[in-house]
Structure 1
Amino acid sequence: MDIRLEGKTALVTASSGGIGFAIAKGLAASGAKVVLNGRSEATVAAAKQRLLAEVSDADIVLAVADLSTDAGCEQLINTIPSVDILVNNAGIYGPQDFFETDDATWEQYWQTNVMSGVRLARAYLPAMQQQAWGRVVFISSESARNIPADMIHYGVSKTAQLSLSRGLAKRVAGSGVTVNAVLPGPTISDGFETMVAEEAERTGKSFEQIGKEFVMTHRASSVIQRAASVEEVANMVVYVCSKQASATSGAALRVDGGVVDDIL
């Protein structure tokens, strides 16, 4: 399958590293103009140089904005007034016991993981409808369906993204615009590597080996029995953003390695 996206502009939020960067790279390699987003000039500029080193002819626009706030979303929308593809990848996560998770933390997760996507979809979807083509993707998580007991606040925000994406798909039904959610499972991202860097140095184990051990200990239902790579997640997202994926909308597409133990 030859996925080509020339003439399309794709905004990938939080794309200076991790899964977001891999998605931006995949879209750029398919010919899309890519908007790299991050919270600082330095990280976004570094991501641009890295992307150009890997996709030499990439067409890149930079947009610095903190999407955890209404003002940050507005700043991004003012900088980038319209896009053909919106990938809502911005999100935060971290373990914390339910009884120690205060209202401020719940609000932080809600604003970052849910409301950023609400605000950007509200801004960009009307023009997509008018041109009868567009793609919106929410990067959710297997935690949306397999709620982790030590990250209930995170799981709830990810489940909300599934409701949001399904509802928006129905809202724009028949317009030529698709809205979907992609659900990664354990993934060897920049964040994961940072989190286990000390263990890797101490034990001499590779990130892949540590990822496999994590999966087998904490996600034993995994069918692939290892962590995914960011490229494997990005491959699904690039397909969902393609012209070929025109019959896929309102879906929750799992790239979780089979962690969620059901057939749907």
Structure 2
Amino acid sequence: MNLQLEDKLVVVTGSTSGIGRGIVKSFLQEGARVILNGRNQDRVNQAVDELSAYGKVYGIAADLSEASQALEFLLKVKEYGEIDVLVNNMGVFEVKEFESVTDEEWMNYFNVNVLSAVRLSREILPEMLKRNSGRIINISSEAGVKPLPQMIPYSVSKSALISLSRGLAELTKGTKVTVNSVLPGPTWTEGVESYMAGAAKAENENLEVFTENYFKKNEPTSLIQRFATVEEVADTVVFLASQKASAINGTAQRVEGGIIRSL
């Protein structure tokens, strides 16, 4: 299937590792030009070096949770041309008891997970509407619909991203611009692998056995009963960015294996 993404300029935030990095790779494989982003310059440079084998990739280091750095990032991005696709992927999470989360930590969740997307969308969406072309995709989570008691601030921030996406989509009515959110479920990334290794050690279990039993114990409603791969999530994002998905707008696209038990 030709997704018609050749030479499109794509921005993916928080993309030096994990799902973000996978999204960059999938866009490159479709012939797009991609700007990846991370907070650490060395990690950005390393990711660019490793992903350059797949296509034209550029790196800009910036902490988009800070308004001044977000503005500088936007100025640098525009040097590469008009942005065809914006993927707001930057995000943080932590397993922590609700009563132990401070006001400062709550504000950090919103600055990183929500306001980073607001800042970029606020500048880029009007330009897309002006030329009547573009895609914005916000990476939310199944936790935005099914809040996790051990990660309540993260869940609330991801719910906000779903709302933001639908609200922005309303502004695109009658145009060729679309805004959607993508809701990954448990996905096997480097971070998840490290977390699972620690959890298995704490339970004094073999990592492979612990992982196999994870869904039976923790996610019994999952229909696929396994972790999604980074590629599965990334390919969903790339499809939504393509001309083939031009009729999909304002949706919260689930890629969570059926964990959310609802119609």
- Does 2:124 match 1:139? no
Corresponding residue number in structure 2 for 1:116: 116
Corresponding residue number in structure 1 for 2:23: 23
Shift of 1:51: 1.1
Whether the aligned pair in 2 keeps the contact of 1:97 and 1:151 (CA below 8 Å) is yes
Identity of aligned residues (%): 40
Shift of 1:191: 1.1
Whether the aligned pair in 2 keeps the contact of 1:188 and 1:211 (CA below 8 Å) is no
Corresponding residue number in structure 1 for 2:2: 2
- SS of the equivalent of 1:196 reads helix
Q: Give distance in 1, aligned partners of 2:211 and 2:242.
A: 30
1:219-256 deviation digits (Å, cap 9, x = unpaired): 11000001111001011101001111000000000000
- SS of the equivalent of 1:80 reads helix
Q: Give distance in 2, aligned partners of 1:217 and 1:63.
A: 41
- Does 2:60 match 1:63? yes
Corresponding residue number in structure 2 for 1:178: 178
Q: 2:77 aligns with which of 80, 97, 102?
A: 80
- SS of the equivalent of 1:187 reads coil
- SS of the equivalent of 1:258 reads coil
Decide whether aligned partners of structure 1 residues 212 and 120 sit closer, same or farther in structure 2, where only a CA change above 3 A counts. Answer: farther
Aligned residue identity for 2:57: I
Decide whether aligned partners of structure 1 residues 51 and 101 sit closer, same or farther in structure 2, where only a CA change above 3 A counts. Answer: same
Q: Give distance in 1, aligned partners of 2:213 and 2:121.
A: 38
TM-score by length of 1: 0.93
Shift of 1:210: 4.5
Q: Give distance in 1, aligned partners of 2:188 and 2:74.
A: 30
Decide whether aligned partners of structure 1 residues 121 and 210 sit closer, same or farther in structure 2, where only a CA change above 3 A counts. Answer: farther
1:93-123 deviation digits (Å, cap 9, x = unpaired): 1111111111001000001000000000001
The alignment covers a number of residue pairs equal to 258
1:112-162 deviation digits (Å, cap 9, x = unpaired): 000000000001111111221100000000000110111111111000001
Corresponding residue number in structure 1 for 2:236: 236
Whether the aligned pair in 1 keeps the contact of 2:197 and 2:207 (CA below 8 Å) is no
- Does 2:126 match 1:165? no
Q: Which runs of 5+ in 2 are unaligned?
A: none
Q: Give distance in 2, aligned partners of 1:69 and 1:153.
A: 19
Q: Give distance in 2, aligned partners of 1:130 and 1:211.
A: 48
- SS of the equivalent of 1:124 reads helix
- SS of the equivalent of 1:87 reads strand
Shift of 1:71: 1.7
- Does 2:102 match 1:102? yes
TM-score by length of 2: 0.93
Q: Which runs of 5+ in 1 are unaligned?
A: none
Shift of 1:203: 5.6
Q: Give distance in 1, aligned partners of 2:210 and 2:47.
A: 26
Aligned residue identity for 2:175: S
Q: Give distance in 1, aligned partners of 2:184 and 2:212.
A: 15
Aligned residue identity for 2:251: A
Q: Give distance in 2, aligned partners of 1:256 and 1:199.
A: 21
Say which is worse superposed, 17-26 or 73-82, in terms of deviation.
Answer: 73-82
Corresponding residue number in structure 2 for 1:155: 155
Q: Give distance in 1, aligned partners of 2:52 and 2:195.
A: 27
1:3-47 deviation digits (Å, cap 9, x = unpaired): 231131000001101000100101111111000101111111111
Whether the aligned pair in 2 keeps the contact of 1:216 and 1:226 (CA below 8 Å) is no
Q: Give distance in 2, aligned partners of 1:255 and 1:72.
A: 31
